[in-house]
Amino acid sequence: MFFASDNGAPVHPAVFAAMERANAGYALSYGNDAATDALRDRIRVVFEAPTAEVLLLTTGTAANALALALLTPPWGTTFCHRHAHIAEDECGAPEFFSGGAKLTLIDGPHGKISPNALEQAIAQTGGSVHVAQRGALSLTNVTEAGTLYTAAELSALTAVAKAHGLPVHLDGARFANALAATGATPAELSWRAGVDVLSLGGTKNGLLAAEALVLFDPAKAWEAELRRKRAGHLNSKLRFVAAQFEAWFSNDLWLTLARHANTMAARLATGLAQVPGAEILHSTPANIIFARLPEAAHARAKAAGAVYYQSDDTLGRLVASWSTTEDDVDALLAAFKS
């Protein structure tokens, strides 16, 4: 009954198998190998973006912070939701990588920014030499609240950004879950919706440690590579990161795993509706649920061995993963109810 985070789940066996296949013999290090080249090409195909540049990384924080450093100058500000991962969970990595750029925090219900709120936030910045200059827009899909932006919603937001000349970053730590939930294509939820740089997360969806920074506009690719190296994020045996992604994309494993996680969360949400005193905070199309539950229900679940985060006495965050089983869900629900 582990619902603490999808990054506490094990690695999918196919990923180990792919890494072991990649372990045959020698290969030039630092990404100068055939496997890494092939994976980059594969991502271009998956995203229907033949000129995109792809940098492999091992953490989502590195991907996000690198992206923002590329898009926002040190004297700029990145517009993001108040509870974005880049704002709340990265210990200032965006500020570090960017040389001190700001984040302008935008409020919005259910973890989402509205075009109006974005427009207002932008209107209050820029102009004189005394103030932070307009940098980038950073969105997150699936959001930190477990909600979704549809392709149309993304487009409406990026249109506001573009009208002011701002480039757009998407934190896709759970991009596969968003694809599975919306049925959209990778292109539709990224560059076709106005995203310039995507942090494509694999680690929360079955991989060991694999993230990709996808630059749909390759103009800053060399700068990105220098920033990656300089941040200590150019792994030497990069073929093993490529191998993880290769397994992920094969037979659409990434979508299968994400769909499963979403399905398990949906089962959990459905069951929670029958738990006395339970209240689900947001819609739950993906694999994250925020729910208020009576203290006694939390106590029973913990006593039964459930692992998940609580923000306060009643608010819990429950995350399903590729390896969550129906039995896990049902056991948790039973503990909440009994």
Residues 192-221 interacting with a second copy (rule: CB under 8 A): 203-204, 208-209
Contact flag: residue 2 with a second copy (CB under 8 A): yes
What is the token pair recorded at 138? 């950073």
Output the smallest distance, CB 122 to a second copy, in A: 15
Tell me phi and psi for residue 171, to 5 degrees.
-80, 105
Among 7, 155, 256, 314, indicate the residue that binds a second copy (CB under 8 A).
7
Structure token digits, residue 112? 């989402």
Region of 61-69, 109-117, 149-157, 262-270 interacting with a second copy (CB under 8 A): 61-69
Asked if 212 and 200 count as a contact pair (C-beta separation under 8 A), the reply is: yes
Is the CB of 218 or the CB of 277 nearer to a second copy? 218
Task: Say how many residues touch a second copy, by CB under 8 A.
Answer: 74
Is 249 a binder of a second copy (CB under 8 A)? no
Q: Is 232 in the site for a second copy (CB under 8 A)?
A: yes
Asked if 52 interacts with a second copy (CB under 8 A), we say no
> Residue 134, class by beta-carbon neighbours within 10 Å (0-12 exposed, 13-18 middle, 19+ buried)?
buried
Q: What is the 8-class DSSP label of residue 307?
A: B
Residue 80 to residue 84: CA distance in whole angstroms: 6
Strand, coil or helix: 53: strand
Six token digits for residue 322: 């590729």
Helix (H, G, I), strand (E, B) or coil at 112: coil
Residue 230 or 276 with smaller CB distance to a second copy: 230
Q: Does 26 bind a second copy (CB under 8 A)?
A: yes
Q: Are 173 and 60 in contact (CB under 8 A)?
A: yes
| Closer CB to a second copy, 129 or 303, in the complex | 129
Q: Given the complex with a second copy, which of 188 and 211 has the nearer CB atom?
A: 211
Q: Which of residues 75-134 bind a second copy (CB under 8 A)?
A: 75, 88-93, 95-103, 129-133
Residues whose CB is less than 8 angstroms from the CB of residue 108 and which lie 6 or more positions away in sequence, other chains included: 81, 82, 114, 117
Among 39, 46, 56, 62, binds a second copy (CB under 8 A): 62
As a whole number of angstroms, the distance between CA 113 and CA 260 comes to 27
Nearer to a second copy, 191 or 248 (CB): 248
Residue 240, token pair as written in the block? 């093993």
> Would you give the binding string for a second copy spanning residues 290-329, x where CB under 8 A is met?
-----------------x---------------x------
